[in-house]
Amino acid sequence: MRLSDGVEWGVHVCTLLATLPADGALPAAKLAEFHDVPAAYLAKHLQALARAGVLQTAKGPRGGYRLSRPPAEITILDVVEAIDGDEPAFRCTEIRRRGPTAMPARYYPHPCGIHAAFDRADEVWRAELGATTIADLVVGVVRDASRPALEKGVRWLGEAVRS
């Protein structure tokens, strides 16, 4: 069971975009450069984030991607579901209704207990990821990053949005 690489990239991208000045935007190429990830592959994930309403595109010479709403209103779960979908990790194929002891579906009025247990795990996983916002992540970066790393990031970002 594994989340796609795009999930890691997507959360980092949103965290970076949350630090832009108002009306700032960054093109896909700059986002790929900052994170040192393959531009074409990142573009695919950026489009998925835009389709899901997490990012929006700004046209014009200083256009690019920006967050579509305040970072406190975007959770890690929003990014995960935009990129990897919202299907639960466990897919029940109702194997209890197969084989030599199978009965017609009406003989199984209750949901399978195994399916229900995985659904509960899926819920707590999503609740936990839904409890952390992009704003929380920015606070963490600013608090935890070493000053030289932060300075370097701020300088790069200032040049990137002006260019």
Contact residues: a second copy, CB under 8 A: 1-5, 7-9, 11-12, 15, 33-37, 76, 84, 87, 89-93, 95-96, 98-103, 107-110, 113-114, 117-118, 120-122, 124-125, 127-129, 132, 136-137, 140-141, 144-146, 148-149, 152-153, 156
Q: Smaller CB distance to a second copy: residue 91 or 162?
A: 91
* Least distance CB 89 / a second copy (angstroms): 5
Q: Smaller CB distance to a second copy: residue 34 or 50?
A: 34
Q: Smaller CB distance to a second copy: residue 23 or 144?
A: 144
The two three-digit tokens of residue 116, written as one number: 């229900």
Q: Which residues of 75-89 are buried (b: 16+ CB within 10 A; e: fewer)?
A: bbbbbbbbbbeeeee
- The CA distance from 24 to 11, in Å, is 18
Which residue is associated with the tokens 């489009």? 47
* Least distance CB 162 / a second copy (angstroms): 15
State the DSSP string of 108-151: --SPPHHHHHHHHHHHHHHHHHTT-BHHHHHHHHHHHS-HHHHH
